[in-house]
Amino acid sequence: MNRNVMVAGATGLVGRTMIKILEERNFPADHLVAVASERPEGRTVSFRGKKIGVTTLPAALKEEPGIAFFSAGKDVSGTWAPLFVQAGWKVVDNSSCWRMSGDVKLVVPEINGNLLGPDDRLVANPNCSTIQMVLALAPLHNRYRLQRIVACTYQAVTGSGQKGVERILAERKAWVAGNPLPLSGSVYPCPIDLNVIPDIGALTPDGYTEEEIKMREETRKILGDAKIGVSATCVRVPVIASHCVAVNARFAEPFSLEDVCSLIKSFPGLVLNDFSAGHGFAVPLEAEGTDTVYVGRIRRDPTEENTLE
């Protein structure tokens, strides 16, 4: 059986990382179909020691069906993911297009991977900051039942793709040379190097950004509880890779810090950084390139009952 794996957005930052992980984990694929939604002509990607020519979505649709990973934006996913499903592919979508669709499962494998069945042809994965936050909170929600979450994110420029990385490096180089860059051509509304920008996604009429709304709605869907109150403030910071989230979480049931730490330590995908080892917390440079969510500085909120930070 020919096992095709397609990556849409293969030349972008996330797409290239997907291909790297497929190779590192020896994913069972006989053939990689690398797709760029724009200007694929003459471009290649590396996979298992070979150069793979980049193709188009219409051409990829004619390939023998396999598993398709979409990371080319919600417009591309909205148009093409259903066509690939109809053609027999199983689709994993990394965009925001299908996350809140009632008939599409929003999956973090460690939390709700059991929801997936053989008939699921289109699966969505959540927003980047949502994933790490809910992974840390899931074992506590299972035991104590979350009531309310207040979160502030510190999101690296990789969240803006390759253009975000290129922008901060260019600004840094220009600053050292004493020649600040003009904002024209930037993916940000103001300088990002030596700065923080509390603006990720379009601003909505209620004052929240799209990113902040994603964290609220996706958290409720993944944890299966629409009553959880979620308020998020999402901030872009001058860090290349690895997002951070500060969380204040209120629960219905009382807890002990000892039990909280035990639950976190025993949950897949989490590492507890306690004060008995090193400086007691993880930083982006240490987390970069790993799949782990590092949890640290756990403390009880003295101003609210049954509340953890």
Domain of 223, CATH number, reads: 3.30.360.10
- Alpha carbon 212 to its chain centroid, in Å, reads 13
Residue 107 belongs to a domain? no
| Same-domain status, 138 and 67 | no
Residue 234 belongs to a domain? yes
Task: Tally the domains of the chain.
Answer: 2
Range in 32-41, 169-178, 269-278 the model is least confident about? 269-278
**6 neighbors 89 (Cβ within 8 angstroms):** yes
Residue 46 belongs to a domain? yes
Q: What's residue 120's pLDDT?
A: 96
The mean pLDDT of 288-295, rounded to a whole number, is 94
Q: What's residue 281's pLDDT?
A: 85
Q: What's residue 40's pLDDT?
A: 74
| Same-domain status, 66 and 141 | no
Q: What's residue 176's pLDDT?
A: 94
Task: Give the pair of three-digit tokens for residue 166.
Answer: 């290129």
Tell me which DSSP letter residue 99 carries: T
| pTM of the entire predicted model | 0.94
Greater pLDDT, 248 or 43: 248
| Same-domain status, 36 and 144 | no
Instruction: Clarify whether 279 is annotated catalytic.
Output: no
Q: Is pLDDT above 70 for 109?
A: yes
Residue ending a domain, among 52, 76, 98, is 98
Which domain does 260 fall in, by range? Answer: 130-161+194-308
| Same-domain status, 84 and 134 | no
Q: What's residue 276's pLDDT?
A: 62
Residue ending a domain, among 80, 98, 116, is 98
Q: 147: which residues sit within 8 A by CB, 6+ positions away?
A: 227, 228, 229, 250, 251, 252, 306
Catalytic residue among 97, 128, 234, 244: 128
Greater pLDDT, 275 or 92: 92
Residue 69 belongs to a domain with what CATH number?
3.40.50.720
Q: Is pLDDT above 80 for 1?
A: no
| Same-domain status, 68 and 147 | no
Greater pLDDT, 278 or 76: 76
The mean pLDDT of 249-253, rounded to a whole number, is 99
Residue 253 belongs to a domain? yes
Residue 89 belongs to a domain? yes
Instruction: Clarify whether 141 is annotated catalytic.
Output: no
Range in 29-43, 59-73, 144-158 the model is least confident about? 29-43
Q: What's residue 275's pLDDT?
A: 66
Helices 128-144, 257-266: inter-axial angle, 10-degree rounding: 120
| Same-domain status, 53 and 135 | no
Report the length, in residues, of the chain.
309
Catalytic residue among 97, 141, 234, 243: 243
| Same-domain status, 18 and 145 | no
CA distance 92 to 124: 6
Residue 111 belongs to a domain? no
Range in 137-141, 145-149, 284-288 the model is least confident about? 284-288
Amino acid (1-letter code) at residue 194: L
